[in-house]
Structure 1
Amino acid sequence: MGQKGCLLIHGFTGGAYEVNPLARYLREHTDWIVSVPVLPGHGRKLNLRETTAAEWISFAEEELKRLWLYCDEVFVIGFSMGGLIAAYLAIHYPVSKLVLLSTAALYVNTKQIAKDINMLFKDVWSKKLNENEWFGHYKYKLIHTPVRAMREFRKIAKATVPLLSQVTIPTFIAQGEMDGIVPPRAARFVYDRIGTYEKKLYLSKTSKHLICYGADSEALFGEIAFFLSQTEHPDEG
């Protein structure tokens, strides 16, 4: 058995923290080399004014190639925009298996955002605003995300979504049904378009967009580890 590697790619305006809980789980439960790079301009402090979609994809490609220096087999996991980049890598490189988390094939779940905003106003009324994790997280992103960067993100979506039928490797698709950023129907949208018959759809009833922090994340991580560890993949709906 050769060395296995796993590349985890975070989302737009995000950073390694978005997928770190899953990375930790994989490191604890496997002997794989787990890589969690931070895309140019991303991380805890955003600097997205000069970075481009081409740079993000190129950076992910280089990280994938670097893993192959040490590994005989590589899996790719992508979160949100990272899911689109992961799919791109799976189409263009000999990746063994693909995991797509909250993949941004469809963008903005307005109903859930309305619920989150309503909760935000309730917190304002009860003077718990500083305790509202959602507010702090998205306030920073809104301030530090230029319109130009949004256009770069959309370039990736526009280029990658039509190619999903070219994904021919085993694929695990997970989505939170409470996601306020990517509509939950995006998971079925991706599932229906992925070209492989070896695919699994996992829906979390309680998770929001940051699915690696959901209440059922341990169960999700176990499912992902099992999926990636399997040597054969029965067709699943």
Structure 2
Amino acid sequence: MQETYQVMKGAEPFKIEGFRVGVLVSHGFTGTTQSMRPLGKAFADAGYTVCGVRLKGHGTHYEDMEQSTYEDWIASIEEGYQWLKERCDSIFVVGLSMGGTLALYMAQHHPEISGIVTINAAVDVPEMEPVKHMEERYIDAIGSDIKKPDVVELAYEKTPVASVKQILELMKQVKLDLPRVACPALIMASTEDHVVPPENSNLIYDQIGSDQKTFLELKNSYHVATLDNDQQQIIEESLTFMKQNAVFSHD
């Protein structure tokens, strides 16, 4: 019988109803909704309907994550999208790290999306490749790459090797389909990132098919920029971007 894991305090999904423009917010690989909650709150305070998803196998225990596949993570984000679709005329997807990868995936498969915001999104991390050949079941944690002192990301203390194989597959698929992304895109990248090479965001910017795309450097944050020194800039730039691209129904 599969063990049932408790969701960690602070890792719960969140849903806040506002006006008929929605924002789907996704955390990253081994992370939790804690990393996206400040953004979600700011978007909700601005009136947006917000859904912060907890990706399957995340926010519980790394043994739980080990059982989940990239298809499960896609299913988690699709479920949040459906919840927003029932309430909104216009939807944006905002994601950190693998959450950004999933935002790209959603734009590839849902051309009706009004826009995406990616923060240190991952599509090509060569350092991860050797991991899939390891005999070990777990490797060291990758969470909490934050420049700001005394800020800690709520993330797993270990990373399952099985899960690394899953994210590699997800990145491979999303990278191949980058030209299919056609919606407006705001691509943000930390100049110093110890988890995902910043070149990922340059590659995304160059290869997506969007006519309207903006690249923004985050000069004072590491990988988990949403909890770092540039948090306010991320919030403000995202709100400006969404305001410019939201579609309001006149029914």
TM-score category by the smaller chain?
0.7 to 0.9
SS of the aligned residue for 2:23 comes to strand
**Aligned residue number for residue 78 of structure 1:** 95
More off after superposition, 101-110 vs 175-184 = 101-110
- 1:132: how far off? 7.3
The letter for the 2-side match of 1:106 is: D
Q: In 1, Cα distance between the equivalents of 2:126 and 2:35?
A: 18
Which is richer in helix? 1
Q: 1:108 to 1:15 in 2, by over 3 A?
A: farther
**Aligned residue number for residue 80 of structure 2:** 63
Q: In 2, Cα distance between the equivalents of 1:75 and 1:62?
A: 14
Q: In 2, Cα distance between the equivalents of 1:57 and 1:13?
A: 15
1:11-47, CA deviations, whole angstroms, 9 ceiling, x for partnerless residues?
111110121111111122x211111010111015432
The question of whether the paired residues in 1 share the 8 Å contact of 2:31 and 2:154 is answered with no
Unaligned ranges ≥5, structure 1: 111-130, 233-237
The question of whether the paired residues in 1 share the 8 Å contact of 2:124 and 2:172 is answered with no
Kindly, what percent of the aligned residue pairs are identical? Answer: 30
**Aligned residue number for residue 125 of structure 2:** 107
Unaligned ranges ≥5, structure 2: 1-18, 129-148, 247-251
Structure 1 length normalisation: TM-score? 0.80
Structure 2 length normalisation: TM-score? 0.76
What is the correspondence of 1:27-38 to structure 2 with a 5 Å cutoff? Answer: 27-28=44-45, 30-38=46-54
State the number of aligned residues.
206
1:41 aligns with 2:23: no
1:15 aligns with 2:29: no
1:225 aligns with 2:243: no
**Aligned residue number for residue 41 of structure 2:** 24
The letter for the 2-side match of 1:89 is: M
1:122-177, CA deviations, whole angstroms, 9 ceiling, x for partnerless residues?
xxxxxxxxx9767x977x43x3x221111011110011111011100000000111
Q: In 1, Cα distance between the equivalents of 2:27 and 2:154?
A: 15
